[in-house]
Structure 1
């Protein structure tokens, strides 16, 4: 049984991210993840991997409604009249009639495009049936409050943010969960750095798991979604094993106590973080 994040969007808890997953070498790990039970595939206009995701979905042989496909709108497409045509192009790349969730990838850099301009277009895309759900990514609390005022309560399915045992992003994650906004973790295994932490390594060795599986299991235990990525099909299959790993309260507390080492993704155009 595939676990899902509680909420209106029904987002499967453990997904697969597709940044840098290009060509046949990129399709292989996506397909391996799907074959191992993954039902949540994340792409973005900026990744240039929408065609690969569509091909992997078709090769899987699964009915379209059994897979939760996510894409993200690039800030270059936020201007008046640009967002919906860009999403229609994404759908052509995916060869799909609609996606399950469309996110705003980043807030408009320096507020160049007013929040209301692109969020209203996102809502219209949902109304037209181009996407089942809508959400955001990399939004701090202040912008989430503004976005909720524009879109209405319950419309923001999730906020996709950097989060893992080495960067817990607690203030933002707690606020989202209290507000009924799902938390989706990118960089959920910190770019493969989980094996560098002694506490996580010790738990992994004691449980016969990998450090990545422990990190992912911790995120799932917190009620988050996670979208790890890898270029290796065998690693994609391995990561899906986190669904079978149930951490104890003591193990979760141990991971909670690991000091944060800071975020890895922090471009100059990022918003003011919480």
Structure 2
């Protein structure tokens, strides 16, 4: 497993996303992932699975400090009191006394607390030692810039949808300039990469699947981590097997220029609630 050094932190380049994983399946998947070497686990208050994620990590019997554990504030928990209360609840559910990173899941809505209030409470949690780093999710470059301006603690990461059909070059350029990690969720475009002709062709050259090529394309970019979701040992192992080959510059460029039809289909798919 490779790590990315950002703002003095070392973050595993590949993690496990747990969106839509619940109950025993979530617990067993997290346990299996950590046992086979995953050291970056992502969850959220909105996922309703923090307890199962915590039990999975506990069952894997690894040292807590060896796992980079991330959760995200629900949209209803943005005022200072709710940030503090809900984060302590998350810690209890996860069975840990600190978080490696706490994120704002989506930008604050106008009828919720101001961004400054949310960030202020998150900074307090850093000062108390309950949270090591803070970050945001689904923030555009302008929103990320505002968050950085209003936070005393550095913004470690912006977690966004990123895959070959979702161009994030502007955000990635901003992140690189300001030493912010870009964490890619839905890196396989909800399965959309699996039959991509370019990825199939490139994968055949290396004995890799289209999904592995798509993940390699992400983690080979400076300052990018990926958190694919998986629920079987086969997929967990396959997702990890992306550090033993390297794409050429031409292949990286080819993957970055997908068909406009594929891009349109993936945009529609990304808007669906399932």
Match of 1:163 in 2: 162
Q: Secondary structure at the match of 1:76?
A: coil
Taking the aligned partners of 1:267 and 1:104, their CA distance within structure 2 comes to 21
RMSD: 1.8
1:196 aligned counterpart, secondary structure: coil
2:145 pairs with 1:140: no
Q: Is the 8 A contact 1:32 1:237 kept in 2?
A: no
Distance 2:116 2:22 in 1: 33
Matched, 1:127 2:127: yes
Q: 2:163–2:214: 8 Å Cα contact kept in structure 1?
A: yes
Matched with 1:29 is 29
Structure 1 ranges of 4+ moved more than 4 A:
none
- Matched-pair contact (CA < 8 Å) for 1:36–1:240: no
Match of 1:16?
A: 16
Q: Does 1:179 align with 2:178?
A: yes
Corresponding position of 2:226: 226
Structure 1 length-normalised TM: 0.92
Mean CA deviation greater in 75-84 or 30-39: 30-39
- The whole-number CA distance in structure 2 between the counterparts of 1:265 and 1:191 is 8
CA contact (8 A) 2:42 2:227 kept: yes
Consecutive unaligned residues of structure 2, counting only runs of 5 or more, are none
Q: What do the CA deviations read for 1:34-91 (whole angstroms, capped 9, x no partner)? A: 2222100000000011111111111111111111100001110102311011000000
Structure 1: how far apart are the matches of 2:219 and 2:111?
33
Secondary structure of 1:133 counterpart: strand
The equivalent residue for 2:99 is 99
Q: CA deviation at 1:28?
A: 2.3
Cα 1:171–1:266 change in 2 (3 A) is: farther
Shift of 1:155: 0.2
Change (3 A) 1:81 1:96: same
CA–CA separation in structure 2 for the residues paired with 1:80 and 1:250: 48
Q: Which residue of 2 aligns with 1:195?
A: 194
- Matching of residues 250-261 of structure 1 within 5 Å: 250-259=250-259, 261=263
Higher RCO by CA contacts (8 Å cutoff, separation 6 or greater): 1
- Confirm or deny: 8 A CA contact 1:30 1:233 kept in the other structure: no
Q: Does 1:7 align with 2:6?
A: yes
1:112 positional shift: 3.2
Partner Cα distance (2:235, 2:31) in 1: 12
2:164–2:257 CA contact under 8 A, matched in 1: no
Could you tell me the TM-score, scaled by structure 2's length? 0.92
Decide whether the 8 Å contact of 2:26 with 2:56 is kept in 1. no
Q: Is the deviation greater in 5-14 or in 158-167?
A: 5-14
Question: Alpha-carbon deviations, 1:182-220, whole Å to 9, x = none?
Answer: 100001011111122110111112211111111111101
Contact kept in structure 1, 2:31 and 2:60, CA below 8 Å: yes
The match for 2:213 is: 214
Count of residues in correspondence between the two structures = 266
Any conservation in 1 of the 2:184–2:227 contact (CA below 8 Å)?
yes
Following TM superposition, by how much is the alpha carbon of 1:145 offset from its aligned partner in structure 2, in angstroms?
A: 1.5
Change (3 A) 1:181 1:266: farther
Superposed displacement of residue 174, structure 1 = 1.6
